Amino acid sequence: MTQVELVLLGIVTEGENHAYNIEKIVEQRGLRERLSIGFSTIYAALKKLEKEYLVESRYDAQQNLPGKRIFSVTPLGKRTFTQEMMKSLSVPQRTESAFEAALCFAHLLGRAELKESLSLYDAELSRQIQIKVRELTDCNLNETVKRGLLTRPLTLIQAERKWIREFMGLL
pLDDT digits (tens, 9 = 90+) for 57-83: 999 888 888 889 999 999 999 999 999
Examine the fold and report which residue of 62, 90, 118 is the final residue of a domain before the chain moves on. 90
First to last CA, the chain: 41
Q: In terms of domains, do 9 and 77 share one?
A: yes
Q: In terms of domains, do 73 and 34 share one?
A: yes
Q: What is the pLDDT of residue 7?
A: 95
Q: What is the pLDDT of residue 139?
A: 75
Q: Which range of residues forms the domain containing residue 56?
A: 3-90
The count of domains in the chain is 2
Q: In terms of domains, do 7 and 85 share one?
A: yes
pLDDT in tens, 122-171: 999 999 999 989 888 877 766 788 788 889 999 999 999 999 999 999 98
* 136 within 8 A of 151, measured Cβ to Cβ: yes
- In whole angstroms, give the CA distance from residue 160 to residue 13: 35
Examine the fold and report which residue of 42, 62, 90 is the final residue of a domain before the chain moves on. 90
Q: In terms of domains, do 112 and 160 share one?
A: yes
Examine the fold and report which residue of 32, 60, 90 is the final residue of a domain before the chain moves on. 90
Q: In terms of domains, do 102 and 86 share one?
A: no
Query: Does the reported pTM lie above 0.85?
Result: no
